[in-house]
Structure 1
Amino acid sequence: MKTGQTLEAGGNCAVCDTRERRIVSLVGRGFQKLTTVICTGCGLVHSHPIPSPEELQRFYAEDYRKAYKGTHKPKLKHVYRYAPGAYQRVAELAALVGPERRRFLDIGSGSGEILYMARKAGFEVTGVEPNTGYAEYTREELGLPVQNCTFEEADLPKAHFDILNLSHVLEHLPDPLASLRFLNTLLRPGGILCVAVPDIGHASHAPWTRFHYAHIHNFSHETLKAMVLKAGFEILPQSSGSTTLIARKTGAAFCDMPRPMPENYEMLWQTLTAEHAGVAHVTGKRGIARLIGKLYRYPRDHVMGRLMGSPRRILDKVHARMCETYGTLMTFVLAAV
């Protein structure tokens, strides 16, 4: 096989029903062998072949966090780094539901920052995290109710939750459309879904780290939007980014109508195979700005995390600071409880 070669996939594309794929890369993160293809009918990008559910379950239970974060449990610098975004996400979602809708589910809850902020905002929270070390951490260090399993195995009642957060999870799933449809059934009528994934069309990573084993599917705005719509949701205007969508559960049946987007495929193919992309990533203005930002943020996060000393103290202090900055919004949210 070689880059640019076309092949026929084992099944139809979940977005557009097309079988034809084109090889976009044969190398994954760490220069490991990994074949990644793009659907020529819509631009959905995915690994080829897609790993089996059993293989993925073993990987996420034990190896994923160690391979990508270098640890079995969160580090203080990571808690400090993610806490402000967690506060903002919860405040944004809480503003969309009323005082009688207070059940918050976080699938792939990770190190628990979003669940912790949701609990402080008055929600009844439930988390699901397949990684053993991270699930134990969120239960023991943060006192959060987190089930250590996949969402398919979790004890989750149907039509029960008001908000479902799915942050950087969908790209890890072997059948994202089927997963979204299953998760739809866990929400009450009119429930809110927030789904965030990396944008494969955005030059936020070097070409040599763009594809990796853990990210089975890679989305652009158009392919993510198509899947969310086909899973029985309507996109809300509060969506904050190209691949961060906020949607509301509708009463309509799931839509199986194919959504061909050949222009999206053409655009992504040109982006992903552009010559000199690696040089531009490092030497362009965006690459230089990213490097300068990391040189400032990474030492700051490490020092501040160590000074605060514990995950709960970090989260409480960040929460207090963010409340001072965004007091009007959070006051409104808490008043609704």
Structure 2
Amino acid sequence: MTASTTGHPWNAHTPCPSCGESSARVVATRDGKTGEALLTVACTACGLGRIDPMPTEQALADWYSRQYRQAYKAAVQPALRHVLRAGRNALDRWHWLARMQPVLAAPEAGPARNSLDIGASSGETVALMRHLGWHATGIEPHQGYAQHAREALDLPVRCGTLLEQIEHTPSASQQLVTMFHVLEHLADPLAALRKIARTLAPGGRLFIEVPNATRLCSPHYMFFRAHTLYFTQPSLHGLMQRAGLQVVAASEPDADNLRVVVEVAPAAPALAAVAIDRADTLVQAQQRRRWLPYLLEQLRTARPLHKLMARQEEKRTAARYANGRELLQSLYGAQGGQRGNSGPAMLSGRAFSG
């Protein structure tokens, strides 16, 4: 059988990494960035999207450590405008989390709480958490970006894959683990989530953000090699439940990026209670992606113009600073919220060491 069109029934080469089902439907047949053949399917049982066949963990590790940033970001280390953008994203996520989980944003007496950022990129979230008084560390698979975080920002960001490095994190040690645009890159998300759950302290939270695979985009944009998994809100929540985690806060189901905050569930959910979606959701979303509606929506919202203006503003703003440390110090300092004299000094060697 040859997969040719969106909606075509498919018996997958590798089973769904969430529920184990092999029955699927074709969503897309080529890489939206390169045009090369790439099969993306949606599970008929739980709705999770994935490429088929799934790559091995070792193949992914080798590619992300050396090639991912170059292939999709055209960079070995981040430009200052990328540091600015990532720093602003870190602030936006923290403000959302503080609204949804005020207990995490409340001042904490005594020793600093621990946080771990998985997929730390060039270290902007780790830097923000340290600014806020947390004892923050990070894990980043790309050698160049991890090196930048360590050397340019003096941050404790370890280079390696999630599955490699999470083993070095003590059990029940983290009050907060963050994972932004990482889950969609994994081959075995259940194993990863269960290992992360082991590191959460009692009452600890895991904060995840992934792209919403049903969002409006051009017909060939959504599916590409760098993303092994594709989520709707139900398939994301179902994966959390299968990993033994319960949702305590979530973004709206139609947001461009899906956010979820979870904690370790007191007991495994009954099968009937696990959130499920159907392959139809991703299939229908892809079938709705047509050039004319997409271009009309772009014209109506003037999104390309807004994006161009935003990029120009980023370049102008980033050009004011000599380096990433100075830029983040200004960005995070302008937000306030530092701890008093008992907390670590923002973006200093003392704050970023250890």
Please indicate, yes or no, whether the TM-score normalized by the shorter chain is above 0.5.
Answer: yes
Q: Quick one: distance in 2 between partners of 1:56 and 1:150?
A: 9
Q: Quick one: distance in 2 between partners of 1:193 and 1:260?
A: 18
Counterparts of 1:188-207 in structure 2, within 5 Å, are: 188-203=201-216, 205-207=217-219
Residue 75 (structure 2) pairs with residue 60 (structure 1): no
Shift, 1:63, TM fit: 0.2
Shift, 1:299, TM fit: 0.9
Shift, 1:124, TM fit: 0.6
1:252 alignment partner, one of 267, 271, 279: 267
Residue 159 (structure 2) pairs with residue 126 (structure 1): no
Q: Quick one: distance in 1 between partners of 2:115 and 2:151?
A: 20
Retained in 2: the 8 A contact 1:73–1:134?
A: yes
SS at match of 1:31: coil
Alpha-carbon deviations, 1:156-182, whole Å to 9, x = none? 112111100010000000011221111
Q: Quick one: distance in 2 between partners of 1:335 and 1:259?
A: 47
Retained in 1: the 8 A contact 2:25–2:279?
A: no
Shift, 1:186, TM fit: 1.1
Q: Quick one: distance in 2 between partners of 1:16 and 1:258?
A: 14
Retained in 2: the 8 A contact 1:16–1:258?
A: no
Shift, 1:6, TM fit: 1.8
Residue 319 (structure 2) pairs with residue 306 (structure 1): yes
SS at match of 2:261: strand
Which structure 1 residue ranges, 5 or more long, are not aligned?
324-329
Shift, 1:247, TM fit: 1.6
Shift, 1:32, TM fit: 1.7
Aligned to 1:34: 38
SS at match of 1:180: helix
Task: Report the AA paired with residue 22 of structure 2.
Answer: R
Aligned to 1:79: 83
Residue 225 (structure 2) pairs with residue 213 (structure 1): yes
Task: Report the AA paired with residue 48 of structure 1.
Answer: D
Aligned to 1:326: none
Counterparts of 1:252-271 in structure 2, within 5 Å, are: 252-253=267-268, 259=274, 261=276, 264-271=278-285
Shift of the 78–148 alpha-carbon distance from structure 1 to 2, 3 Å rule, reads same
Retained in 2: the 8 A contact 1:103–1:123?
A: yes
Retained in 2: the 8 A contact 1:38–1:45?
A: yes
TM (normalized to structure 2)? 0.85
SS at match of 1:133: helix
Q: Quick one: distance in 2 between partners of 1:177 and 1:133?
A: 28
Task: Report the AA paired with residue 47 of structure 1.
Answer: I
Task: Report the AA paired with residue 267 of structure 2.
Answer: A
Moved more, 179-188 or 164-173: 179-188
Task: Report the AA paired with residue 181 of structure 1.
Answer: R
Shift of the 85–169 alpha-carbon distance from structure 1 to 2, 3 Å rule, reads same
Shift of the 115–43 alpha-carbon distance from structure 1 to 2, 3 Å rule, reads same
Aligned to 2:103: 96
Q: Quick one: distance in 1 between partners of 2:203 and 2:331?
A: 31
Moved more, 57-66 or 18-27: 18-27
SS at match of 1:197: strand
Shift, 1:241, TM fit: 4.4
SS at match of 2:211: coil
Retained in 2: the 8 A contact 1:232–1:255?
A: no
Alpha-carbon deviations, 1:132-173, whole Å to 9, x = none? 000000000111101111122112112111100010000000
Aligned to 2:155: 144
Shift, 1:200, TM fit: 0.2
Moved more, 110-119 or 280-289: 280-289
Shift, 1:93, TM fit: 4.2
Aligned to 2:23: 20
Task: Report the AA paired with residue 226 of structure 2.
Answer: A
Task: Report the AA paired with residue 308 of structure 1.
Answer: Y
Q: Quick one: distance in 2 between partners of 1:128 and 1:213?
A: 22
Shift, 1:240, TM fit: 3.6
Retained in 1: the 8 A contact 2:234–2:275?
A: no
Aligned to 1:291: 304
Aligned to 2:189: 176
Shift, 1:254, TM fit: 7.2
Alpha-carbon deviations, 1:183-211, whole Å to 9, x = none? 111111221110000000011x3221211
Shift, 1:320, TM fit: 2.2
Alpha-carbon deviations, 1:73-92, whole Å to 9, x = none? 01111111121221232355
TM (normalized to structure 1)? 0.89
Shift, 1:15, TM fit: 4.1
Retained in 1: the 8 A contact 2:76–2:145?
A: yes
Instruction: Give RMSD over aligned pairs.
Output: 2.4
Alpha-carbon deviations, 1:7-65, whole Å to 9, x = none? 22245434444321111111112212111111122321100110111111110000000
Q: Quick one: distance in 2 between partners of 1:105 and 1:254?
A: 27
Retained in 2: the 8 A contact 1:42–1:265?
A: yes
Q: Quick one: distance in 2 between partners of 1:213 and 1:26?
A: 11
Shift of the 135–241 alpha-carbon distance from structure 1 to 2, 3 Å rule, reads farther
Q: Quick one: distance in 1 between partners of 2:275 and 2:43?
A: 10
How many residue pairs match? The answer is 326
Aligned to 1:316: 329
